[in-house]
Structure 1
Amino acid sequence: MPRLPRRAPAGLTILEIVIAIAIFTTATLIIAGYIVQGYRVNRFAMEQADALEHARRAIDSMAKEIREADISDLGSFPIASATNQSFSFYSNLDGDSAVEKIRYFLEGTDFKKGVIEPGGNPLAYNPAGEKITIISRYVRNGADPIFNYYDGNYPSSTAPLAAPANPNQVKLIQLSLRVNIDPSTAPDDLTLNTFVQIRNLKDNL
């Protein structure tokens, strides 16, 4: 009995191979896209949280130092200047015998702290000796106040003093920092607020 010829096992055609490769490539790109997007979102969240933590530390540090503001070593009033974007005062930062002059101010999106030690003969606070450090980045206050000032009528009168405020009228200070590492990306600015009384200037608050 004659044998029937064997049929070659069916294989994939070139078209089928191309389609399979295209499907695999597309799926791989989609998965990779999700992974990259997830990494970006996670990195943004971590950076935003880090920026917020630095701002929180800055607020806490400012509040503590402002609360302890005191007469300078030259006998000057505890508050040197009070604007919406900067605040200068005298306080003993390190617990030694000298009272430092401290300045908090916004430069671009960097919130900075300047410290001047008294020195020289005669004794003076030389601006050339100011040591400046960045204490918080990505601050988005812009022209909006970082510092608001209130007199002894607060909270009966909630209107802040016009800036620059008269240092002799200031009894209470509101600190406000808005933080956002990328304003073009959600979420919106995160705002930290606190109120500080200068102990040596307490009135009827």
Structure 2
Amino acid sequence: MKSFTLTEALITISIFLILILAISSFVLFFYKSQSYSWQQSLAISEAKRGIETMVKEIREDREGENGAYPIEYAGDKEFIFYSDVDGDGKTERVRYFLGEIETKTLTSECQTSVKGGSCSVSFTNFLSGNLISATLKVSVDGDLGASTEYVEIFADGQKLSNLCESGCSKCLGFWQGTQTFDVFNLAKDNSISLLAQASSKVDPACPYAFKVKFELTFTQEVQTTQLKRGIIKATGSPPTYPKDQEKVSIITSYVRNTPPIFEYFDANGNKIEDYPARLQNTKVMKVFLVVNVDPNRPPQDYQILSFVQLRNLKNQ
């Protein structure tokens, strides 16, 4: 029997290893492809069920327990309305939205060594979503031991308050005179300029005249790929819908909408672009979702479209 030479054996082993590697790569590729297809199929099924639920609830919209109009907010990617979603005969506040809530705090300090001087800071480009709330906490320290020694605080040219007109000590060495202000209306343009102005009696005795710390805390809703549903039940008498009692659940993930999720039409089928008119004139809504687990690979986006007539508004 003829035996293999060392060279022939090495060539045979190399070919065998190449075949094993090729087969393994194919199996791995096939597995990943099937896994992705399964994930995509699951995401599509989840989105379809979500739209079915959404359409059913929107169709049965009605006045809130507090007498609120059936539609509270009609945005491109957020819709808030009232409907009995659990069949208990009472109306819930329902919110469908694409995003998540996050809270951040930004801090900045400044000081001056000028008698009766001032210093300023600004916060800009801090928003990456829709602003929900914003507060400004201000603290000072310095030559602030008398009633004539205080610091005026301004935001975007608007006076907020005087700090340390009473209750503060001279050169205490830590923050005092703290006050907190609601600055939602000032911060919603993604910029706020702050000025601290000392009274004429404040001297550089600390050795600075005064220093001030500004803490801007804001809550915003940032868009994500998860379509969520928030439910608030009415409580109390008269009934209210406390926003801090909203229960949020994920309806579907992997939503890739660039176009609006929600579009609004009047009784004649005309699309409503003007926001105030959306609240009063909407009779039919279009719900549109684009779903894709990974937009960087095939298959292409899967689109789901549905129209819903708001039964309790069609004759209004």
Common fold by TM > 0.5: yes
Displacement after TM superposition at 1:121 (Å): 3.5
Pick from 10, 13, 24 the counterpart of residue 5 of structure 2.
13
Measured after TM superposition, the shift of residue 161 of structure 1 is: 2.9
SS state of the match for residue 267, structure 2? coil
Letter aligned with residue 162 of structure 1: D
Partner in structure 2 of residue 62 of structure 1: 54
Which protein is richer in strand relative to its size?
A: 2
Deviations 1:2-59 (A, max 9, x none): xxxxxxx431111111000000000111111111111011001000000000100011
2:22 partner letter: I
Percent identity of equivalent pairs: 39
Structure 2 counterpart of 1:151: 266
Counterpart in the other structure of 1:79:
71
Question: What is the TM-score normalised by the length of structure 1?
Answer: 0.90
Q: Deviations over 1:40-87 (max 9, x none)?
A: 110010000000001000110000000000111111111111000100
SS at match of 2:66: coil
| Structure 1 stretches of 4+ moved >4 Å | none
Q: TM-score of the superposition, structure 2-length normalised?
A: 0.59
1:119 aligns with 2:256: no
Task: State which of 96, 118, 123 in structure 2 corresponds to 1:104.
Answer: 96
Q: Which runs of 5+ in 2 are unaligned?
A: 100-223
SS in 2 for 1:76: coil
Instruction: Find the aligned partners of 2:91 and 2:9 in 1 and give their Cα distance.
Output: 79
SS at match of 1:109: strand
Q: Which runs of 5+ in 1 are unaligned?
A: 1-8
Is 1:130 the counterpart of 2:246 in the alignment?
Answer: yes
Query: How many residues are aligned here?
Result: 192
Q: CA RMSD in A?
A: 1.4
Task: Give the distance between the partners of 1:163 and 1:190, measured in 2 at CA.
Answer: 29
The residue aligned with 2:290 is: 178
1:194 equivalent in structure 2: 306
What residue number does 1:141 align with? 257
Higher helix share: 1
- Report if the CA contact (8 A) 1:151-1:161 is conserved: no
Instruction: Specify which structure has the bigger relative contact order, considering alpha-carbon pairs within 8 angstroms and separated by 6 or more residues.
Output: 2
